[in-house]
Amino acid sequence: MNILIAGGTGFVGRHLTEALTRKGHAVYIVSRSPDKHTNTMMVSFINYDNPVDKLPIIHAVINLAGDSLFGYWTKAKKAAIHKSRINTTQNVIHMMGQMEQKPDVFINGSAVGFYGTSQKMIFTEATDQPGDDFLAGVVHEWEETAKQAEQLGIRTVYTRFGIVLGQEGSLPLMKLPVRLFAGGKIGSGDQWLSWVHIDDVVGMIQFCLENTSINGPINVTAPNPKRNKDFSSTLAHVMRRPYWLPTPAPAIRTILGDMSMLITHGQYVLPSKAEIHGYHFSYPHLEEALRETEA
Protein backbone atom coordinates (compact mmCIF):
# COMPACT_ATOMS: atom_id res chain seq x y z
CA MET A 1 0.00 0.00 0.00
CA ASN A 2 0.87 3.66 -0.35
CA ILE A 3 0.30 5.25 3.07
CA LEU A 4 0.34 8.96 3.88
CA ILE A 5 1.20 9.92 7.47
CA ALA A 6 0.90 13.31 9.15
CA GLY A 7 3.03 13.42 12.29
CA GLY A 8 5.27 10.68 10.97
CA THR A 9 8.43 12.12 12.55
CA GLY A 10 7.16 11.84 16.13
CA PHE A 11 7.61 9.01 18.63
CA VAL A 12 4.72 6.85 17.39
CA GLY A 13 5.16 7.94 13.78
CA ARG A 14 8.77 6.80 13.54
CA HIS A 15 8.01 3.38 14.99
CA LEU A 16 4.99 3.01 12.73
CA THR A 17 6.90 4.05 9.62
CA GLU A 18 9.63 1.52 10.35
CA ALA A 19 7.06 -1.27 10.78
CA LEU A 20 5.14 -0.35 7.64
CA THR A 21 8.22 -0.19 5.43
CA ARG A 22 9.38 -3.57 6.77
CA LYS A 23 6.13 -4.95 5.40
CA GLY A 24 6.82 -3.40 2.00
CA HIS A 25 4.49 -0.40 2.22
CA ALA A 26 5.54 2.95 0.74
CA VAL A 27 5.17 5.81 3.23
CA TYR A 28 4.64 9.49 2.41
CA ILE A 29 5.23 11.67 5.47
CA VAL A 30 3.60 15.10 5.47
CA SER A 31 5.91 17.59 7.16
CA ARG A 32 6.12 21.36 7.50
CA SER A 33 9.88 21.04 6.87
CA PRO A 34 10.33 18.20 4.36
CA ASP A 35 13.73 19.55 3.28
CA LYS A 36 15.13 18.70 6.73
CA HIS A 37 14.63 14.99 6.05
CA THR A 38 16.16 12.57 3.59
CA ASN A 39 13.98 10.51 1.26
CA THR A 40 14.63 6.80 0.89
CA MET A 41 13.32 4.14 -1.46
CA MET A 42 10.36 3.52 0.86
CA VAL A 43 9.86 6.87 2.63
CA SER A 44 9.20 10.25 1.01
CA PHE A 45 8.74 13.58 2.80
CA ILE A 46 6.26 16.10 1.39
CA ASN A 47 4.63 19.29 2.63
CA TYR A 48 0.94 20.06 3.07
CA ASP A 49 0.89 22.11 -0.14
CA ASN A 50 2.17 19.21 -2.23
CA PRO A 51 -0.26 18.77 -5.19
CA VAL A 52 -2.08 15.51 -4.60
CA ASP A 53 -2.08 14.76 -8.32
CA LYS A 54 1.70 14.41 -8.05
CA LEU A 55 1.28 11.55 -5.60
CA PRO A 56 0.56 7.94 -6.47
CA ILE A 57 -2.80 6.52 -5.40
CA ILE A 58 -2.91 6.75 -1.61
CA HIS A 59 -4.57 3.74 -0.03
CA ALA A 60 -4.54 4.88 3.60
CA VAL A 61 -4.03 8.12 5.54
CA ILE A 62 -2.90 8.25 9.18
CA ASN A 63 -2.91 11.45 11.23
CA LEU A 64 -0.69 11.45 14.32
CA ALA A 65 0.12 15.17 14.41
CA GLY A 66 -0.45 17.38 17.42
CA ASP A 67 1.42 19.64 19.84
CA SER A 68 2.81 17.81 22.88
CA LEU A 69 0.62 17.75 25.99
CA PHE A 70 3.69 18.08 28.20
CA GLY A 71 4.48 21.46 29.68
CA TYR A 72 2.74 24.02 31.88
CA TRP A 73 -0.75 24.59 30.47
CA THR A 74 -0.82 28.33 29.97
CA LYS A 75 -3.54 29.83 27.78
CA ALA A 76 -1.05 29.82 24.90
CA LYS A 77 -0.16 26.17 25.50
CA LYS A 78 -3.80 25.14 25.58
CA ALA A 79 -4.41 27.06 22.38
CA ALA A 80 -1.50 25.25 20.70
CA ILE A 81 -2.77 21.85 21.87
CA HIS A 82 -6.19 22.61 20.40
CA LYS A 83 -5.15 24.38 17.21
CA SER A 84 -2.49 21.87 16.18
CA ARG A 85 -4.93 18.97 16.33
CA ILE A 86 -7.90 20.60 14.66
CA ASN A 87 -5.98 22.46 11.94
CA THR A 88 -3.82 19.49 10.97
CA THR A 89 -6.86 17.23 10.75
CA GLN A 90 -8.64 19.76 8.56
CA ASN A 91 -5.56 20.02 6.32
CA VAL A 92 -5.36 16.25 5.94
CA ILE A 93 -9.08 15.98 5.14
CA HIS A 94 -8.64 18.74 2.55
CA MET A 95 -5.84 16.72 0.92
CA MET A 96 -8.04 13.61 0.81
CA GLY A 97 -10.87 15.64 -0.67
CA GLN A 98 -8.64 16.62 -3.58
CA MET A 99 -7.67 13.03 -4.35
CA GLU A 100 -9.41 11.66 -7.43
CA GLN A 101 -9.37 8.16 -5.93
CA LYS A 102 -10.09 8.39 -2.22
CA PRO A 103 -8.14 6.39 0.38
CA ASP A 104 -9.76 3.24 1.71
CA VAL A 105 -9.23 4.26 5.33
CA PHE A 106 -8.42 7.30 7.46
CA ILE A 107 -6.94 6.62 10.91
CA ASN A 108 -6.95 9.70 13.11
CA GLY A 109 -4.96 9.83 16.32
CA SER A 110 -7.02 10.46 19.44
CA ALA A 111 -6.71 9.93 23.19
CA VAL A 112 -8.39 8.26 26.15
CA GLY A 113 -8.68 11.81 27.45
CA PHE A 114 -12.01 11.76 25.57
CA TYR A 115 -13.59 10.03 28.58
CA GLY A 116 -12.60 12.54 31.21
CA THR A 117 -11.41 11.19 34.56
CA SER A 118 -12.90 8.83 37.11
CA GLN A 119 -11.74 6.43 39.82
CA LYS A 120 -14.92 4.32 39.63
CA MET A 121 -16.13 4.11 36.03
CA ILE A 122 -14.93 1.62 33.41
CA PHE A 123 -14.70 3.15 29.94
CA THR A 124 -14.99 1.25 26.65
CA GLU A 125 -15.72 2.37 23.11
CA ALA A 126 -19.42 2.06 24.03
CA THR A 127 -18.99 5.17 26.20
CA ASP A 128 -20.17 7.85 23.79
CA GLN A 129 -20.29 10.89 26.08
CA PRO A 130 -17.05 12.86 26.44
CA GLY A 131 -15.82 14.14 29.77
CA ASP A 132 -16.20 17.76 30.84
CA ASP A 133 -12.56 18.86 31.21
CA PHE A 134 -10.30 20.72 28.79
CA LEU A 135 -8.65 17.68 27.23
CA ALA A 136 -11.93 15.81 26.80
CA GLY A 137 -13.32 18.83 24.95
CA VAL A 138 -10.29 18.99 22.64
CA VAL A 139 -10.42 15.27 21.87
CA HIS A 140 -14.17 15.37 21.20
CA GLU A 141 -13.76 18.26 18.74
CA TRP A 142 -10.75 16.48 17.19
CA GLU A 143 -12.82 13.38 16.49
CA GLU A 144 -15.75 15.40 15.20
CA THR A 145 -13.40 17.11 12.76
CA ALA A 146 -11.99 13.75 11.63
CA LYS A 147 -15.53 12.49 11.10
CA GLN A 148 -15.75 14.73 8.03
CA ALA A 149 -13.76 12.05 6.20
CA GLU A 150 -16.83 9.80 6.38
CA GLN A 151 -18.63 12.27 4.11
CA LEU A 152 -15.97 11.47 1.50
CA GLY A 153 -16.89 7.80 1.73
CA ILE A 154 -13.72 6.90 3.65
CA ARG A 155 -13.72 4.37 6.49
CA THR A 156 -12.68 6.41 9.51
CA VAL A 157 -11.08 5.19 12.76
CA TYR A 158 -10.21 7.18 15.90
CA THR A 159 -7.33 5.56 17.79
CA ARG A 160 -7.68 6.63 21.42
CA PHE A 161 -4.17 6.25 22.83
CA GLY A 162 -3.42 5.62 26.47
CA ILE A 163 -0.02 6.36 28.04
CA VAL A 164 2.47 4.97 25.53
CA LEU A 165 5.40 3.10 27.05
CA GLY A 166 8.72 3.06 25.23
CA GLN A 167 12.19 4.55 25.34
CA GLU A 168 10.72 7.89 24.26
CA GLY A 169 7.53 9.72 25.13
CA SER A 170 6.35 10.11 28.73
CA LEU A 171 7.99 7.04 30.27
CA PRO A 172 11.53 8.51 30.54
CA LEU A 173 10.03 11.36 32.59
CA MET A 174 8.15 8.88 34.76
CA LYS A 175 11.37 6.92 35.31
CA LEU A 176 13.46 9.92 36.35
CA PRO A 177 12.42 10.17 40.02
CA VAL A 178 12.67 6.38 40.36
CA ARG A 179 16.17 6.44 38.88
CA LEU A 180 17.07 9.13 41.43
CA PHE A 181 15.85 6.90 44.30
CA ALA A 182 12.80 9.11 44.82
CA GLY A 183 10.12 6.85 43.39
CA GLY A 184 6.68 6.58 44.95
CA LYS A 185 3.00 7.10 44.37
CA ILE A 186 1.60 10.45 43.24
CA GLY A 187 -1.19 11.92 45.31
CA SER A 188 -3.47 9.21 46.66
CA GLY A 189 -2.04 6.72 44.17
CA ASP A 190 -5.56 5.43 43.52
CA GLN A 191 -5.94 7.10 40.12
CA TRP A 192 -6.04 4.69 37.20
CA LEU A 193 -3.42 4.70 34.46
CA SER A 194 -4.39 3.15 31.13
CA TRP A 195 -1.11 2.29 29.44
CA VAL A 196 0.05 0.56 26.25
CA HIS A 197 3.44 -0.56 24.93
CA ILE A 198 4.67 1.17 21.75
CA ASP A 199 4.80 -2.18 19.92
CA ASP A 200 1.08 -2.64 20.55
CA VAL A 201 0.35 0.92 19.43
CA VAL A 202 2.02 0.12 16.12
CA GLY A 203 0.39 -3.30 16.00
CA MET A 204 -3.11 -1.94 16.62
CA ILE A 205 -2.77 0.78 13.99
CA GLN A 206 -1.74 -1.86 11.46
CA PHE A 207 -4.63 -4.02 12.70
CA CYS A 208 -7.02 -1.15 11.92
CA LEU A 209 -5.48 -0.71 8.48
CA GLU A 210 -6.09 -4.34 7.60
CA ASN A 211 -9.50 -4.96 9.20
CA THR A 212 -12.19 -3.28 7.14
CA SER A 213 -14.84 -4.00 9.77
CA ILE A 214 -13.22 -1.59 12.25
CA ASN A 215 -14.47 1.99 12.26
CA GLY A 216 -15.16 4.74 14.76
CA PRO A 217 -13.32 4.84 18.11
CA ILE A 218 -10.92 2.11 19.23
CA ASN A 219 -9.07 2.23 22.55
CA VAL A 220 -5.35 1.72 22.05
CA THR A 221 -4.63 0.54 25.57
CA ALA A 222 -3.46 -2.67 27.20
CA PRO A 223 -6.19 -4.85 28.77
CA ASN A 224 -4.79 -4.42 32.29
CA PRO A 225 -4.86 -0.81 33.55
CA LYS A 226 -3.06 -0.11 36.81
CA ARG A 227 -3.57 2.32 39.66
CA ASN A 228 -0.78 4.86 39.96
CA LYS A 229 0.56 3.30 43.16
CA ASP A 230 0.76 -0.13 41.51
CA PHE A 231 2.28 1.26 38.32
CA SER A 232 4.91 3.14 40.33
CA SER A 233 5.67 0.11 42.49
CA THR A 234 6.10 -2.13 39.44
CA LEU A 235 8.32 0.46 37.75
CA ALA A 236 10.55 0.68 40.85
CA HIS A 237 10.75 -3.12 41.02
CA VAL A 238 11.78 -3.39 37.36
CA MET A 239 14.38 -0.64 37.80
CA ARG A 240 15.63 -2.16 41.10
CA ARG A 241 15.02 1.05 42.98
CA PRO A 242 13.17 1.78 46.23
CA TYR A 243 9.51 2.70 46.26
CA TRP A 244 8.93 4.94 49.23
CA LEU A 245 8.63 8.66 48.59
CA PRO A 246 5.08 9.82 47.76
CA THR A 247 4.58 13.09 45.91
CA PRO A 248 1.67 15.20 47.22
CA ALA A 249 -0.88 16.18 44.56
CA PRO A 250 -0.67 19.92 45.46
CA ALA A 251 3.05 19.87 44.63
CA ILE A 252 2.31 18.43 41.19
CA ARG A 253 -0.38 21.06 40.60
CA THR A 254 2.06 23.82 41.59
CA ILE A 255 4.69 22.55 39.13
CA LEU A 256 2.44 21.64 36.18
CA GLY A 257 -0.72 23.69 36.60
CA ASP A 258 -3.79 22.28 34.84
CA MET A 259 -1.65 19.66 33.12
CA SER A 260 -1.34 17.97 36.51
CA MET A 261 -4.76 16.37 35.90
CA LEU A 262 -3.02 13.94 33.54
CA ILE A 263 -1.03 12.66 36.52
CA THR A 264 -3.24 13.18 39.57
CA HIS A 265 -6.42 11.96 37.85
CA GLY A 266 -6.96 9.08 35.48
CA GLN A 267 -9.38 6.70 33.82
CA TYR A 268 -9.86 2.94 33.61
CA VAL A 269 -10.05 2.21 29.88
CA LEU A 270 -10.44 -1.22 28.28
CA PRO A 271 -9.65 -2.10 24.62
CA SER A 272 -12.94 -3.92 24.09
CA LYS A 273 -13.14 -3.39 20.33
CA ALA A 274 -9.60 -4.65 19.73
CA GLU A 275 -10.28 -7.77 21.79
CA ILE A 276 -13.62 -8.43 20.08
CA HIS A 277 -11.91 -8.27 16.67
CA GLY A 278 -9.18 -10.65 17.81
CA TYR A 279 -6.15 -8.43 18.29
CA HIS A 280 -3.34 -10.29 20.10
CA PHE A 281 -1.39 -8.09 22.51
CA SER A 282 2.40 -8.38 22.55
CA TYR A 283 2.51 -6.83 26.04
CA PRO A 284 -0.78 -7.32 27.92
CA HIS A 285 0.89 -7.07 31.33
CA LEU A 286 2.74 -4.11 32.79
CA GLU A 287 5.88 -5.72 34.19
CA GLU A 288 6.90 -7.37 30.93
CA ALA A 289 6.16 -4.14 29.04
CA LEU A 290 8.37 -2.12 31.39
CA ARG A 291 11.13 -4.72 31.29
CA GLU A 292 11.24 -4.42 27.50
CA THR A 293 11.77 -0.66 27.76
CA GLU A 294 14.74 -1.30 30.06
CA ALA A 295 16.38 -3.75 27.63
Based on the number of CB atoms within 10 Å of its own CB, is 243 exposed (0-12), middle (13-18) or buried (19 or more)?
middle
What would the mean pLDDT of 200-228 be, rounded to a whole number?
97
Percent of the chain with pLDDT over 90: 76
Q: Which amino acid is at 54?
A: K
Q: Look at residue 259 and tell me whether its pLDDT is greater than 80.
A: no
User: For domain 2-294, which architecture applies?
Assistant: 3-Layer(aba) Sandwich (3.40)
Instruction: Give the pLDDT score at 151.
Output: 96
What's the rounded Cα separation, in Å, for the pair 143 and 57? Answer: 25
Instruction: Give the pLDDT score at 156.
Output: 98
Instruction: Give the pLDDT score at 49.
Output: 83
Q: Look at residue 256 and tell me whether its pLDDT is greater than 80.
A: no
For the chain, what are the domain ranges?
A: 2-294
Q: Look at residue 153 and tell me whether its pLDDT is greater than 90.
A: yes
Q: What is the DSSP letter of 71?
A: S
Q: Could you read off the pLDDT of 28-37 as tens digits, one per residue?
A: 999 888 889 9
Radius of gyration of the CA atoms of the chain, in A:
19
What's the rounded Cα separation, in Å, for the pair 114 and 137? Answer: 7
More confident residue, 255 or 138: 138
**The model scores a pTM over 0.85:** yes
How sure is the predictor about 27, in pLDDT bands with cuts at 50, 70 and 90? Answer: very high
Q: Could you read off the pLDDT of 43-91 as tens digits, one per residue?
A: 999 988 888 888 999 999 999 999 988 878 889 999 999 999 999 999 9
Angle between helix 198-210 and helix 11-22 axes, rounded to 10 deg? 60
